[in-house]
Chains A and B, each alone.
Chain A
Amino acid sequence: MSAPVPGKNAEIEALAAKEYEWGFVTAIEEDRIPKGLSEAVIGLISAKKEEPAWLLEWRLKAFATWRGMKEPTWARVRYPPIDYQEITYYAAPKRQADGPRSLDEVDPQLLATYEKLGIPLHEREVLAGVAVDAVFDSVSVATTFKSKLADLGIVFCSFSEAVREHPDLVRRYLGTVVPRNDNFFAALNSAVFSDGSFVYIPKGVRCPMELSTYFRINAANTGQFERTLIVADEGASVSYLEGCTAPKRDENQLHAAVVELVALDDAQIKYSTVQNWYPGDAQGRGGIYNFVTKRGACRGRRSKISWTQVETGSAITWKYPSCILQGDDSIGEFYSVALTNNYQQADTGTKMIHIGRRTRSTIISKGISAGHGQNTYRGAVKVLPGADGARNYSQCDSLLMSATCGAHTFPYLDVKNPTARIEHEASTSRIGEDQIFYLKQRGLGEEDAVNLIVNGFCKEVFRELPMEFAVEAQKLLSVSLEGAVG
């Protein structure tokens, strides 16, 4: 549903007009291949990465499938047609060829870029308890704390490295949660994925630190096609953080990632995202097209997968982190804040598929719309006949901040077991003039008042984030909303 907001638009919209803070371009020589997509290009990508034959074959099958697929049109997003032959499918920072062995060997330009982004890549991470696998454009440039993790048998490395060093693990799990023919964008990713992260937590191991990856798009017209695979073996647990910022660009850039999570018996995976790709300018020019397939399989009994996302960037967000609750007593969670300002469009939500007995899922979605932003929650809860005693609780709240924005909610329910219990709550509210006035009457300025109200609205989601991330998320939200009250 759409609800317009009357009121003091000019004042609040003036607040929203803050420029994207992280818009800068790093001058680094690039190693790229010709634009366009063909079997030859896929062969070239695979060869550059010195991949085994099975993986090349896997890519080519995905490509063959993709060629027969149509771009989906069911989402509530509008954008001009994408010419997939105009995109460059691989770019790696050139110096990477020699492969930096430590931070000292990393291109200082790259380090400076991370510095600007505030990514902690130095020893202070030890204090922060964060290990960073930073993806610059398409290739991982530095992985820290690897040896510490290796002592526990934890594998945390770039996807390419995993293919080389742990081919059996990759082969056993790749494409088992998101099959290469799953959807148009997943098939495209399967054909051309350049790099990403791989995590394996062995039996009974609790990963002692948050694992973190920062993705960043740098080269103009270079699509990013990350592939992430996280496997938590029996009784293992891991918390993984993914953060994104991208430099400013005028052209639209395509981003089609795939993330697969596998949790075996009693395993837990917590996956947190702060997504801040370039959203386009105030007129809706430029910005990232973000078509992402994220899915977790709770294969084991009592396993748990929890998605938390804060989506403030991208011109278009198309993303439905989902859980397949296969193991008995497994748990799926989805906590989401999606913010659209100016001309941003987001169509995001989740799917909870209850297969095992007594499986439980929780969905908390908070949509914030400002400017001309369009924000859609699309979620499905599916209970299969065997899922005795399945339970779901869904709550979808929308906050409207202007007269020109829109909020839409599409919850789909498909329940095939009479013992299932499903609850759904939804609300749409506008940021209240009276709330803002109340806070001003207590001495707060307009911006602080708006930030406080918005952060309060998002609290149930923010408290699921690891603390440093929660602080960053709040900061991001206030930057994204400057001038947005209207």
Chain B
Amino acid sequence: MSAAPAPPLLAIENLQASAGGKEILKGLDLVIRAGEVHAIMGPNGSGKSTLARALTGHPSAVVTGGRVRYEGQDLLALEPEARAREGVFLAFQYPVEIPGVTSSTMLREGLNAIRAHRGEPELDAFQFLKLARQKADLIEMAHDMLSRAVNDGFSGGEKKRNEVLQMLVLEPRLAILDETDSGLDIDALKIVAKGVNALRGPGRGFLVITHYQRLLDHIVPDFVHVLADGRIVHSGGKELALELERRGYAWLEEPAAAPRS
């Protein structure tokens, strides 16, 4: 560990947010340092997806209080595309279909926007394709997926794998994975995990949102947090995931509800 610690990659303080007119996040605190993998688990409706949306600026998640610093700057003040260009990536739980737009076109435009933001030269079509194919090989994805329309006619598993491919190409500094494991069989899950693990490194942080412990067998987290009723009610190491698997969430939710005044 270095003597003078850099500001955390992500520092969430007392974050409150509503969705659909309902209060969902009720004061969430979380710090992620570069190099760390954090898993967030919790029952349905606890606010996991709202957290992902609030961090990336989705209009359906309305932040009503608290603050979020990303590498020291006010993340919430940035437009969604500016957050993306600063290196915040979301692997969507339900990736949308965009008929007629090929994955490679979309991804190249995105990558070049990000590179332009960093002051790097744009990649031409050939350079891009070479890069994208290398990354596709890493997760055993057929190259022709790149020339298909974005998620159009993809199976659930293909969509999730496509999200991971995009993450590998865009190389974010903060990657948020929103239930990337849902709908995947065990082989697909391993491949997805392989993609994530390939990106793990000292300069990068992960927020892995999941419902099930099984993903964490393959993406081993440094920290596990339990989200319940809009707050993190319990944090621990990777062994917490196993305990949750065994005992469920109920034993953790009770103390969270009690101190409310």
Q: What mask results when residues 64 to 108 of chain B are scored 1 for a CB within 8 Å of chain A, else 0?
A: 000000000000000111001100011010011011110001110
**B100 in contact with A438 (CB, 8 Å):** no
A438-B81 in contact given A443-B113, A455-B101, A456-B101 (Cβ < 8 Å): no
Any chain B CB within 8 A of the CB of A148? no
**CA A432 – CA B59 in complex, angstroms?**
12
Interface contacts (Cβ under 8 Å), in number, total 76
**CA A435 – CA B85 in complex, angstroms?**
18
Contact residues in B for A441 (Cβ distance below 8 Å): 56, 80-81, 84, 89-90, 92
> Which A residue's beta carbon lies closest to that of B113?
A443
Which of A453, A458, A460 is within 8 Å of B98, CB to CB?
Answer: A453
Contact residues in B for A452 (Cβ distance below 8 Å): 98, 101, 105-106, 109
Contact residues in B for A435 (Cβ distance below 8 Å): 96, 98
Contact residues in B for A437 (Cβ distance below 8 Å): 58-59, 80
- Which of B56, B96, B114 counts the most A-chain CB atoms under 10 A from its CB? B96
> Which B residue's beta carbon lies closest to that of A461?
B100
Any chain A CB within 8 A of the CB of B54? no
Which of A442, A453, A456 is within 8 Å of B166, CB to CB?
Answer: A442
**B100 in contact with A443 (CB, 8 Å):** no
- Which of B57, B84, B95, B101 counts the most A-chain CB atoms under 10 A from its CB? B101
Any chain B CB within 8 A of the CB of A457? yes
**A440 in contact with B59 (CB, 8 Å):** no
**CA A457 – CA B101 in complex, angstroms?**
8
**CA A433 – CA B106 in complex, angstroms?**
16
**B110 in contact with A460 (CB, 8 Å):** no
A460-B109 in contact given A437-B80, A441-B90 (Cβ < 8 Å): no
A440-B105 in contact given A445-B113, A459-B100 (Cβ < 8 Å): no
Say how far A434's CB is from chain B's closest CB, in angstroms: 5
Say how far B213's CB is from chain A's closest CB, in angstroms: 27
Q: What mask results when residues 7 to 44 of chain B are scored 1 for a CB within 8 Å of chain A, else 0?
A: 00000000000000000000000000000000000000
Any chain A CB within 8 A of the CB of B191? no
A433-B59 in contact given A444-B81, A444-B113, A448-B109 (Cβ < 8 Å): yes
Any chain B CB within 8 A of the CB of A209? no
> Which B residue's beta carbon lies closest to that of A453?
B98
Which of B100, B106, B149 is within 8 Å of A442, CB to CB?
Answer: B106
Any chain A CB within 8 A of the CB of B170? yes
Which of B90, B100, B111, B117 is within 8 Å of A458, CB to CB?
Answer: B100
Contact residues in B for A439 (Cβ distance below 8 Å): 98, 106, 110
Any chain B CB within 8 A of the CB of A39? no
**B110 in contact with A442 (CB, 8 Å):** yes
Contact residues in A for B99 (Cβ distance below 8 Å): 456-457, 459
Say how far A381's CB is from chain B's closest CB, in angstroms: 24
Contact residues in A for B81 (Cβ distance below 8 Å): 440-441, 443-446
Contact residues in A for B106 (Cβ distance below 8 Å): 439, 442, 444, 452
**A443 in contact with B96 (CB, 8 Å):** no
**A443 in contact with B85 (CB, 8 Å):** yes
**CA A55 – CA B149 in complex, angstroms?**
53
Cβ contacts A to B, 11 pairs, < 8 Å: A8-B59, A438-B96, A441-B56, A441-B90, A443-B84, A443-B114, A444-B81, A446-B81, A453-B98, A456-B100, A458-B100
